[in-house]
Each structure stands twice: as C-alpha cells, then as structure tokens.
Amino acid sequence: MKLSREEYEAMIYGIAELSDHIEYSDLVLIPAGRKLVTLAGNIHFANGIQLQIREALDFDLDEWITGYGYVVYKDNERQYWYDSQEHPDDPSLASTHPHHKHIHPDIKHHRIPAPNLSFINPNLSFLIEEVDKQFFAES
C-alpha cells in the first residue's frame, strides 16, 4: 500500500493509537534532500520497551522505503533487530531477501528471514503488533 508523504506523516504522528502499550513516540520525518526523507526516532512502550526506528524514504518510487533499521530494546538491552542490508551469500535468507531479523544467540550473526517486512508497505504496524505479542501478551 503506497502512501503519500502526507498520509505517512499522519500515520507517524498518530502512531500511539496503534497500541495501548505505547507511552509516547518521538518519531520525526527529516528532509534529506529535495525528494528524500528520513524517519528517525523511537516508540516508547510500557515496561521499558523501546522500538528504535530509522527509515530512508522516497515517496516518488514504487519501493518507497529504500532502507531501514528497526531495533527493539528492553531496559536498554537489545532484544532483536531488523535491517535491509543485503546478505546474498546466506542462502537461508533468500526467501525474503534482503529483509531479515537478527536474534539471540550471537545476535550480530544469527539472522532469520523476515517475511512481514517490505519496501512497498508500511512496516510500523507489524513491528508494533510484534512488540505487543512478545512483551504484553498477558496484558
């Protein structure tokens, strides 16, 4: 679902509506050139959970998310992260290339496919749902 910059901005600034566990967000869209924009900041959840977000965006392209990094912390300890850096020599990631998730153990090198991430659809709803399921399932 391709969004205009205005639609994406409205979603970003209304992000707290996507979960009862979000305490606040400091996400901002930062112009990075004539057409390019960077989304940067954090979504702060209850219980010390934080989702750090960085996206490179070009709303003129069909694949309008041109790169990203999403990191989840609990009490400042990195739990897992997603990034779009290519790893063409890792056949286990081919099904969702280049989308993948870094998980424990050996979080830097232990990667698994990330089928729910995209360059053409907003990723934040999925990421927030994942945090809710993982950290607030009993709430």
Q: How many angstroms separate the CA atoms of 79 and 87, rounded?
A: 21
Distances (CA, A) of 65 to 112, 117, 132: 20, 10, 23
Distances (CA, A) of 79 to 2, 8, 23, 98, 103: 30, 27, 19, 20, 7
- pLDDT at position 24: 97
pLDDT tens by residue, 76-96: 999 999 999 988 888 889 999
pLDDT tens by residue, 27-44: 999 998 877 999 999 999
- pLDDT at position 4: 87
Give yes or no for a contact between 60 and 37, defined as CB atoms under 8 angstroms apart: no
pLDDT tens by residue, 99-137: 999 999 999 889 999 999 999 999 999 999 999 999 998
